[in-house]
Structure 1
Amino acid sequence: MNKKMAIPAAAAALTLLLSGCGGASADEPAATTPSTSQTVEAPKETTAPAAEASFVDGVLTTRDVKIAITDHRIIQVGEPGNEYGSKPVLAFWYDITNVASESPVTSSNWIFLFQAIQDNDPNAVNKLDVGMLPDDAFLESQMQEIKVGGTIQSAISYELDDLTTPVDLIASENLGMTEIGKITYNLQ
């Protein structure tokens, strides 16, 4: 930076720094400016406990979303819904409702709330990988934001390691830290 630019830049920085340090002293009355009056309601306190999350009969209910599994099936490699996969998949179709979340809710919230385990390894937990979208009907809607009170349909699949070991679908919160419940799906 040349000297012609350095001096004005330093002066501007010093001015900004010093203007942040100033303020009305406690002895001086504050200057008044006209303002509009606004009523702000204080948040209402509730004594009722928050609803418990549950996963019963294929319906996961949390304080933010409700996911109802409407169908599930195994799709073999090469069949519609698994045309490009290298393993058979267990596919789920579901309705997801934004119950009360002001944060964005999409059908992909499933991934944060469920994991699929196929317990066929004696030494380690075998979490199944998410497969391809098993239903082209949801290609356009899978990332749509759901309004509060709104419901959309979607689907997801998990790549199976074998076709005999049952799969536990585990619902949880806090990225798997708090288990809500599970359903076991027998594959045979």
Structure 2
Amino acid sequence: MAAPPVLRRRRKALAGCAAAMALTATGCGGDDEFSLPDWHAPGQNARVGDIMIRYAHVAEPQGGPWQPGDDVPAYVWLYNKGDKDDRLVGASTPNAASVDVVDADGEKVADGVSLPENKLVELERGKTHLVLRDVRETIRGGDFMKFTMKFENAGSVTFDIQAQVPVYDKSPSPTG
């Protein structure tokens, strides 16, 4: 005996939902094997070729916004998921006269940053990082600007980079 029409419609609807869920789950994976931590780190993400750009951000301004003429640090993680080495050879933004790669002491690194195959390179405070030289306008925490990174093999990518919003001490003040 055939199922009643209502039951057939329910079965078709259930099968349709299952198919839609399967198709949705298939699209969730991607080829992005570099998993991100479960915390909300500052910064923007981008990709060019085999280079994955993670947490790109301008350092938070301390005691007020960055002013025209300031040299402003920028931090980023770079992951080369390729099977050959690459190199960060330059960066630029219309908001600064230049962007330099500097070592932990602030000295300019002339030959860029080596990105070994299948490795993460962290350009952070206290390590090799980027510096926006002679910024052209005031930069407040939360502001965005165009930022271009150029790699020897992967090519160039332009994306918006954000100035990190300052986090102030939340402890109570002595006056209450």
- Common fold by TM > 0.5: no
TM-score (norm 2): 0.43
**Hey, which of these two has a bigger chunk of strand by percent?**
2
TM-score (norm 1): 0.40
Q: Which structure has the larger Rg over C-alpha atoms? A: 1
